[in-house]
RNA sequence: GCCGCCGUGGCUCAGUGGUAGAGCGCACCCUUGGUAAGGGUGAGGUCGAGAGUUCAAUUCUCUCCGGCGGCACCA
C-alpha cells in the first residue's frame, strides 16, 4: 500500500499509479508524455471537471481531457466567454459583467451597460480578445469565503455578480478565477492560460436579454460568439450557418413563389397558388388519415360572442391573446383562438349516450391569436393559423385506448412525411391546476399506461402540463438536427364541465365526458415551414404542388409538349409546360431554382420516339424514357409516397 | 412586449442635405438553341408612414408601422 503522502490514481484503462499527494493534473500528464501535457485541457477527477493546476490530494479516478475530446469544446467556449468579458471590461470599464456560459456552437456573455454595443464594436473587441490570448495570461483559481466575494464584487461595482453570490448557499466556498487583472466568479474549470484557448472564435450577434430571464428585471446586452478548436472547425461552422440560411423557409417561400407577408396583415399569410396547393395537399393528406381513423370533420364559426369565452374561461385566461371586435349594436365578439369551445358546443347538441363515445370531432378551423409582435417569425409563428385539430370526447376508461390510437396515427403520419426521429415528452401536473389530485392521478396513469403499452420512450417534462390536464408533446427532429414540437395530446377535465357537456352512461346517469385535445402537425402554417426547411425546399413528389414541368427545346416541339402535358394531366399529375422563348439551359435553371421535382426535356429525338428526357431535381444527369413508362414511374412514386 | 439593427422599382442591393442607380425579373425584338443565365431595346420608384430641423430632406431628429436577430411569451 502507499503511505499518507502518496495517492493512488486510477486511469480510464484501469491502470493505477502512485503519486505524491498534491500533484496536479498537468504534472500527471507531463509524467505520461510531454505531448499529452501540451494537448491537455483539464482533468476529470472522479468525473468532476478540474483545472489542470489544481492539486489532487486524495486517491482518485483521473482522466486527462485533451483538445480532441468533446468536452474540450465546452471549456474553450466558456474560456472564450471569459476572454470576451475581460476584453469588454478593458475597453469599456463602465460595463458590468453578469453571466457568460458556453452554449451550443459557442457562448454568450450578458453585460450591463448604458450605452448599447453595436456590431461596429465587434472588430475592436475581437482584436482585444486576440491580444489577451497572445498575452498568455494564467487563469488561476482562488477560493474565497462567501462574504469576501460579495464584498469584493460590491467594492468594484459589480452588483450583478454580488447578487449572484448572495443567492448561493452561504456555507459554500466561492471559486474565483483570475486572468490578468480580470477577476470573475466562476465554477470552472478553465484552461491554464489564455493562450491555450486559441483564436478560433468570432463574435456573431447582439441581442437583448433580461437579467435572470425575467422580463421585469433589467435588460442586459448579450453578445453571442462562436468558438472552436481550430480555424478549420470555425470555418466549417460558418459554412453550416450559411447552409441553414439557404434553407430558411421565408427565403424558399419567395424563391418557390409559395407565399408572402405584408405590412397590413402582420403574422398572416398570403398564400400564392403553388403555396396554397401545397397547403391543400397537406390538408388532404391529413383528412384522408383521420377519416380512416374514425374522426368526423366539422366546421364551426370564427367569430363568437364574448359570453361563450367567459364561460369557457378564455376571456379570463387568454384575453390578451384574443382579437376582439365590436359591432354597431355594441355586441362584443372575439375571433376564436382555439376550436375547443366550439367543439364542446357541437358535442352538446342533442343528447349523447355512452354509446356515442368516443366521439372524435376534427376541424381545420382558422384560429386567430394576438401573438406578441416580437414572437412573429415567418410561417413558424403567425397570428392566423389552421391546426389539424380534433377533440375526442370519451369516458375515463377510454383515455388509454384513445391515446394509443392517436400515437399510432401520429407515427404513421410522421413516417409518411419523412420524420423518423420522434421524441415524446410527458408533461405532468403543474403547480397551478384545476381538478382534484385523484383526477390527476387517473389522467396521468392513463396517459402513462398508454405510452407504456405502446412501448414508447418518453422524457418527463415536469410540471409543464396544461392547467386542465397532463399532456404529451411530440418533437420531431429535422434534417439539420433541430427539434420541433408539433404534435400534442392533452387531457382536459375542465372545459367539458365548464361548458356543461354531458352524456348518459349505462346506468342512465349523467356524466361529464373527458376531452382529448390533439393535433399531429400542429399548425399547418408552421408545419409547412418546418417541412420546407427539413427538405431544403425539395418537396416530395406526392406533396408537390407542381410535379412536372415540360420543357421543349425549340418552338417546333411545342405541339408535342402540349400532348405530353395532356397525358400527364390525365394521369393526375400536376404539370405545366414552359414554352417560353428561352434556351433549355435557362429553363433548367429556372425550374431547378423553383424546386420543381421533375423536368421533362423534349427534343426532336424524344418526339420521334414518343419519349421524354427526365431530369430529377437535384440530379445532374437525365434519363430518356418512353413517355408511358415515365408517367407510370411518377404515378407509382406518388402512390407509394416515394417509398419503394 | 423588451433590447439592438434594418426598411430605396416585383426581387437582391448600391447611393446622396439640392427629389435616384445597378443586376435579375417584366414587355417587345433578334436568336430556334440538347440539360443550371444567348443578345438588343424599353417600361417601371412621391426612397415604409407622419411630424420636426433646414432656403432645401430619400439622406439629419422624433413618433408610428413593418421586418430581422435575440430575450420574454407560446394558453
Average pLDDT value for residue range A70-75: 85
Give CA–CA dist A21/A11, Å, rounded: 16
Q: How many CB atoms lie within 10 A of CB A274?
A: 20
In a domain, A272, yes or no: no
A530 plus A479 within the same structural domain? yes
Whether residue A547 is predicted with pLDDT greater than 50 in this model: the reply is yes
Strand, coil or helix: A634: helix
Let me know if A389 is a catalytic residue.
yes
Average pLDDT value for residue range A260-273: 94
Separation of A225 CA and B25 C1' (Å): 38
pLDDT tens by residue, A158-205: 989 888 888 887 777 788 888 888 888 887 788 888 888 889 999 988
Cα radius of gyration rounded to whole Å, chain A = 31
Rounded to 5°, angle at Cα A140 from A137 and A144: 145
Q: How confident is the model at residue A14 (pLDDT cuts 50, 70, 90)?
A: confident
CB of A208 within 7 Å of some strand B atom: yes
Can you read off the three cell numbers belonging to residue A250?
421565408
A79 plus A208 within the same structural domain? yes
Residue nearest to nucleotide B72 (CA to C1'): A215
Nearest nucleotide, C1' to the C-alpha of A207?
Answer: B70
CB of A116 within 7 Å of some strand B atom: yes
Separation of A558 CA and B43 C1' (Å): 29
A285 plus A386 within the same structural domain? yes
Q: What's the CATH code of the domain at A166?
A: 3.30.980.10
Where is pLDDT greater, at A509 or A217? Answer: A509
Separation of A606 CA and B36 C1' (Å): 21
Percentage with pLDDT > 70 across chain A: 99
Catalytic residue among A202, A383, A391, A511: A391
Strand, coil or helix: A176: strand
pLDDT tens by residue, A87-109: 999 999 888 999 888 888 889 99
Nearest to A164 by CA among A180, A181, A187, A142: A187
Let me know if A633 is a catalytic residue.
no
Q: What per-residue confidence (pLDDT) applies to A4? A: 63
A390 plus A367 within the same structural domain? yes
Whether residue A7 is predicted with pLDDT greater than 90 in this model: the reply is no
Can you read off the three cell numbers belonging to residue A538?
425539395
Contact A520, A511 (CB under 8 A): no
Catalytic residue among A186, A340, A367, A486: A340
Q: What per-residue confidence (pLDDT) applies to A370? A: 95
A334 plus A432 within the same structural domain? yes
In a domain, A541, yes or no: no
Average pLDDT value for residue range A311-324: 90
pLDDT tens by residue, A303-314: 999 999 999 988
Number of domain units in chain A: 4
A52 plus A104 within the same structural domain? no
In a domain, A609, yes or no: yes
A427 plus A505 within the same structural domain? yes
Q: What's the CATH code of the domain at A581?
A: 3.40.50.800
Q: How confident is the model at residue A632 (pLDDT cuts 50, 70, 90)?
A: very high
Q: How confident is the model at residue A54 (pLDDT cuts 50, 70, 90)?
A: confident
Let me know if A471 is a catalytic residue.
yes
Residue A506: exposure state from Cβ atoms within 10 A (0-12, 13-18, ≥19): exposed
pLDDT tens by residue, A417-475: 999 999 999 998 887 777 788 878 888 888 888 888 888 889 988 888 887 789 999 99
Let me know if A342 is a catalytic residue.
no
Average pLDDT value for residue range A136-161: 88
First to last CA, chain A: 67
A424 plus A556 within the same structural domain? no
pLDDT tens by residue, A588-623: 999 999 999 999 999 999 999 999 999 999 999 999
In a domain, A267, yes or no: no
Q: How many CB atoms lie within 10 A of CB A327?
A: 9
B chain positions with any atom within 7 Å of a protein CB = 1-5, 7, 11-12, 29-38, 65-75
A575 plus A522 within the same structural domain? no
CB of A618 within 7 Å of some strand B atom: yes
Q: What per-residue confidence (pLDDT) applies to A2? A: 47
Can you read off the three cell numbers belonging to residue A43?
482533468
Is the ipTM value over 0.90, yes or no? Answer: yes
Give chain A residues 573-612 with Cβ within 7 A of strand B. 581-586, 588-589, 592-593, 599, 601, 603-606
Separation of A204 CA and B59 C1' (Å): 29
Give chain A residues 517-576 with Cβ within 7 A of strand B. 553-556
A52 plus A111 within the same structural domain? no
Strand, coil or helix: A334: strand
Separation of A128 CA and B47 C1' (Å): 39
CB of A118 within 7 Å of some strand B atom: yes
Q: What per-residue confidence (pLDDT) applies to A560? A: 96
Residue A599: exposure state from Cβ atoms within 10 A (0-12, 13-18, ≥19): buried
Nearest nucleotide, C1' to the C-alpha of A118?
Answer: B4
Q: What per-residue confidence (pLDDT) applies to A1? A: 45
Nearest nucleotide, C1' to the C-alpha of A219?
Answer: B3
Give CA–CA dist A208/A439, Å, rounded: 42
Give CA–CA dist A130/A137, Å, rounded: 12
Residue in the structure block whose three cell numbers are 410535379: A547
In a domain, A167, yes or no: yes
pLDDT tens by residue, A325-382: 988 888 999 999 999 999 999 999 999 999 999 999 999 999 999 999 999 999 999 9
Domain that holds residue A173: 72-244
Average pLDDT value for residue range A206-231: 87
Let me know if A369 is a catalytic residue.
yes
Q: What per-residue confidence (pLDDT) applies to A143? A: 87
Catalytic residue among A51, A79, A388, A389: A389
- Which of A43-57, A178-192, A423-437, A547-561: highest mean pLDDT? A547-561
Beta bridge partners of A232: none
Nearest nucleotide, C1' to the C-alpha of A523?
Answer: B74
Contact A333, A304 (CB under 8 A): yes
Q: What's the CATH code of the domain at A41?
A: 3.10.20.30
Averaged pLDDT score across all residues of chain A: 90
Give chain A residues 444-483 with Cβ within 7 A of strand B. 466-467
In a domain, A382, yes or no: yes
Residue in the structure block whose three cell numbers are 414554352: A579
Catalytic residue among A190, A369, A400, A518: A369
Q: What per-residue confidence (pLDDT) applies to A3? A: 52
A343 plus A325 within the same structural domain? yes
Amino acid at each position: 500500500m502507499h503511505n499518507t503522502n502518496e495517492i493512488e490514481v486510477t486511469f480510464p484503462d484501469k491502470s493505477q499509479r502512485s503519486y505524491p499527494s498534491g500533484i496536479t493534473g498537468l504534472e500527471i500528464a507531463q509524467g505520461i508524455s510531454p505531448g499529452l501535457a501540451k494537448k491537455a485541457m483539464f482533468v476529470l477527477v472522479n468525473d468532476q471537471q478540474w483545472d489542470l493546476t489544481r492539486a489532487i490530494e486524495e486517491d482518485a479516478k483521473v482522466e486527462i481531457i485533451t483538445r480532441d475530446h468533446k468536452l474540450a469544446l465546452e471549456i474553450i467556449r466558456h474560456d472564450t466567454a471569459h476572454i470576451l468579458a475581460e476584453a469588454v471590461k478593458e475597453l469599456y470599464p463602465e460595463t458590468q459583467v453578469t453571466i457568460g456560459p458556453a452554449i451550443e456552437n459557442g457562448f454568450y456573455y450578458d453585460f450591463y451597460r448604458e450605452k448599447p454595443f453595436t456590431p461596429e464594436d465587434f472588430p475592436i473587441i475581437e482584436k482585444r480578445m486576440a491580444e489577451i490570448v497572445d498575452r498568455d495570461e494564467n487563469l488561476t483559481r482562488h477560493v474565497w469565503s462567501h462574504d469576501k466575494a460579495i464584498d469584493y464584487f460590491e467594492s468594484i461595482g459589480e452588483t450583478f455578480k454580488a447578487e449572484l453570490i448572495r443567492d448561493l448557499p452561504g456555507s459554500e466556498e466561492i471559486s474565483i478565477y483570475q486572468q490578468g487583472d480580470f477577476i470573475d466568479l466562476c465554477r470552472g474549470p478553465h484552461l491554464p492560460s489564455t493562450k491555450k484557448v486559441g483564436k478560433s472564435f468570432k463574435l456573431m450577434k447582439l441581442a437583448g436579454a433580461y437579467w435572470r430571464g425575467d422580463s421585469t428585471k433589467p435588460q442586459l446586452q448579450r453578445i453571442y460568439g462562436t468558438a472552436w478548436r481550430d480555424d478549420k472547425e470555425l470555418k466549417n461552422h460558418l459554412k453550416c450557418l450559411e447552409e441553414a440560411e439557404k434553407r430558411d423557409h421565408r427565403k424558399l417561400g419567395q424563391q418557390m413563389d409559395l407565399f408572402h407577408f405584408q405590412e397590413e396583415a402582420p403574422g398572416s399569410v398570403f398564400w400564392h397558388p403553388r403555396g396554397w396547393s401545397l397547403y391543400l395537399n397537406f390538408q388532404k393528406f391529413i383528412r384522408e388519415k383521420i377519416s380512416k381513423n374514425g374522426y368526423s370533420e366539422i366546421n364551426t364559426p370564427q367569430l363568437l360572442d364574448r359570453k361563450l369565452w367567459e364561460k369557457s374561461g378564455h376571456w379570463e385566461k387568454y384575453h390578451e391573446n384574443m382579437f376582439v371586435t365590436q359591432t354597431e349594436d355594441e355586441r362584443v365578439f372575439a375571433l376564436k383562438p382555439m376550436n375547443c369551445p366550439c367543439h364542446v358546443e357541437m358535442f352538446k347538441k342533442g343528447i349523447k349516450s355512452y354509446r356515442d363515445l368516443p366521439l372524435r370531432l376534427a376541424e381545420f378551423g382558422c384560429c386567430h391569436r394576438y401573438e406578441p409582435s416580437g414572437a412573429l417569425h415567418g410561417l413558424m409563428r403567425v397570428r392566423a393559423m389552421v391546426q389539424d385539430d380534433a377533440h375526442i370526447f370519451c369516458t375515463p376508461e377510454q383515455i388509454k385506448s384513445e391515446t394509443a390510437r392517436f400515437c399510432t396515427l401520429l407515427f404513421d403520419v410522421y413516417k409518411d412525411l419523412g420524420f423518423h426521429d420522434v421524441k415524446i415528452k410527458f408533461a405532468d401536473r403543474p403547480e397551478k391546476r384545476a381538478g382534484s389530485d385523484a383526477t390527476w392521478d387517473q389522467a396521468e396513469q392513463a396517459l402513462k399506461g398508454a405510452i407504456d403499452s405502446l412501448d414508447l420512450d418518453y422524457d418527463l417534462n415536469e410540471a409543464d402540463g396544461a392547467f386542465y390536464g397532463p399532456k404529451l408533446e411530440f418533437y420531431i427532429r429535422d434534417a439539420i438536427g433541430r427539434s420541433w414540437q408539433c404534435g400534442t395530446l392533452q387531457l382536459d377535465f375542465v372545459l367539458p364541465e365548464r361548458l356543461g357537456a354531458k352524456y348518459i352512461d349505462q346506468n342512465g346517469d349523467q356524466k361529464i365526458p373527458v376531452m382529448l385535445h390533439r393535433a399531429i402537425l400542429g399548425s399547418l402554417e408552421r408545419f409547412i415551414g418546418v417541412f420546407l426547411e427539413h427538405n431544403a425546399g425539395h418537396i416530395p413528389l406526392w406533396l408537390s404542388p407542381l410535379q412536372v414541368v415540360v420543357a421543349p427545346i425549340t418552338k417546333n416541339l411545342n405541339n408535342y409538349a402540349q400532348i405530353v402535358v395532356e397525358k400527364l394531366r390525365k394521369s393526375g399529375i400536376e404539370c405545366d409546360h414552359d414554352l417560353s422563348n428561352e434556351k433549355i439551359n435557362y429553363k433548367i435553371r429556372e425550374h431547378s431554382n423553383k424546386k420543381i421535382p421533375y423536368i421533362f426535356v423534349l427534343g426532336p429525338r424524344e418526339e420521334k420516339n414518343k419519349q421524354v428526357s427526365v431530369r430529377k431535381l437535384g440530379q445532374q444527369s437525365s434519363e430518356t424514357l418512353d413517355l408511358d413508362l415515365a408517367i407510370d414511374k411518377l404515378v407509382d412514386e406518388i402512390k407509394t409516397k416515394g417509398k419503394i
